[in-house]
């Protein structure tokens, strides 16, 4: 009998290609993993509401959302680490004064502190999850697990210097993720593994982006996508083909899970 393993997959650039489509070979590979009795989980910077359909299509009920700040194992929340409301207020005020909008994210929705902005449209549209609605005070009465700050890379440094309580991870030329300091997919995975009790030698992870570096470094059986950033490929134990070249299927074969 095959020993049960757990495999964590990033979404954008890993499960989904640049058109945000799920390759048929990836879907077949995921279903084969599940038929073999393995646990398939997601580890993403996205919020749960952004990939509900994908989870349903793949039959996944364990996931690391918001880069490790909101962790669900077998349908139950096991870890939640929201941003500080007082620090988020200061960040929002400073960003607004600089002409930089922010978007607040919780497990169900995303809300912007401005009615509209070209940076929001340009970057969030690439996720194909719709655009946020306007509610500048949404963070006051709701736990926010990640915020999107919209500014150019050169303008980001002032926020990094001014807000040591937060980590900033760029995912688009005009947008960066804002997380609690020290937050990462790796930390979220640790919380999930406390519940799952799967030994380290049977834990796998696939990723491609800057927000995957800690995860790929921590997990012994880590696989980076050929289409990923160089930093991700340097951190991973293996590098598979690109997502649109059946990279997930080939990577799972490479590590012996298929």
224 and 165 co-located in one domain = no
Q: Is residue 1 part of a domain?
A: no
Which of 180, 204, 237 is the last residue before a domain boundary?
Answer: 180
167 and 97 co-located in one domain = yes
Which of 145, 180, 215 is the last residue before a domain boundary?
Answer: 180
> If the chain, 258 residues long, is cut into consecutive pieces of 10 residues, what is the mean pLDDT of each piece?
89 96 98 97 97 97 98 98 98 98 98 98 96 97 98 97 97 96 96 96 97 97 98 98 98 98
Structure tokens at 216: 């790929």
Domain with residue 33: its CATH number is 3.40.50.1000
122 and 103 co-located in one domain = yes
100 C-beta neighbours (distance < 10 Å), count: 24
Spell 200-236 as b/e; 16+ CB within 10 A means b.
eebbbbbbbbbbbbbbbbbbebbbbbbbbbeebbebb
156 and 94 co-located in one domain = yes
**In the prediction, which pLDDT does 1 show?**
47
62 and 101 co-located in one domain = no
164 and 119 co-located in one domain = yes
- Looking at the 3D structure of the chain, how many domains does it have? 2
65 and 134 co-located in one domain = no
DSSP per-residue codes, 118-172: HHHHHHHGGGTS--PEE-TTGGGSS--SEEEE---HHHHHHHHHH-TTEEEEEEE
Domain with residue 92: its CATH number is 3.30.1240.10
Query: In whole angstroms, how far apart are CA 63 and each of 139, 144, 162, 188, 209?
Result: 23, 17, 31, 9, 17
96 and 167 co-located in one domain = yes
Which of 137, 153, 180 is the last residue before a domain boundary?
Answer: 180
What domain range includes position 52?
6-80+183-254
90 and 175 co-located in one domain = yes
92 and 174 co-located in one domain = yes
Query: Would you call 55 exposed, middle or buried from its count of C-beta atoms within 10 A (0-12, 13-18, 19+)?
Result: middle
162 and 221 co-located in one domain = no
Those residues whose C-beta lies under 8 Å from the C-beta of residue 60, and which sit 6 or more positions away, are 30, 40, 41, 42, 54
pTM, two decimal places: 0.93
121 and 167 co-located in one domain = yes
Annotated active-site residue 93? The verdict is: no
Q: Is residue 140 part of a domain?
A: yes
């Amino acid at each position: 009998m095959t020993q049960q393993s757990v495999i964590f997959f990033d979404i954008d650039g890993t499960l989904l290609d640049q058109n945000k489509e799920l390759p048929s070979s990836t879907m077949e590979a995921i279903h084969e993993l599940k038929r073999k009795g393995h646990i398939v989980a997601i580890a993403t910077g996205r919020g749960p509401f952004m990939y509900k359909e994908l989870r349903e299509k793949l039959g996944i009920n364990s996931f690391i959302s918001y880069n490790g700040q909101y962790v669900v194992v077998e349908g139950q929340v096991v870890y939640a680490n929201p941003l500080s409301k007082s620090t988020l207020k200061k960040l929002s005020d400073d960003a607004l004064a600089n002409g930089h909008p922010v978007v607040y994210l919780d497990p169900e929705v995303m809300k912007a502190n401005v009615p509209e902005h070209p940076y929001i449209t340009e970057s969030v549209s690439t996720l194909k999850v719709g655009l946020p609605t306007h509610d500048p005070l949404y963070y006051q009465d709701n736990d926010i697990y990640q915020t999107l700050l919209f500014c150019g890379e050169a303008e980001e440094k002032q926020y990094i210097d001014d807000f040591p309580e937060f980590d900033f991870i760029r995912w688009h030329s005009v947008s960066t993720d804002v997380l609690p300091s020290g937050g990462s997919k790796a930390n979220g995975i640790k919380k999930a593994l406390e519940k799952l009790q799967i030994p380290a030698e049977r834990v796998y992870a696939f990723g491609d982006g800057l927000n995957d570096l800690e995860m790929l470094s921590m997990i012994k059986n880590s696989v980076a996508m050929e289409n990923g950033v160089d930093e991700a490929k340097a951190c991973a134990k293996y590098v598979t083909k690109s997502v649109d070249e059946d990279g997930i299927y080939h990577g799972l074969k490479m590590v012996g899970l298929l």
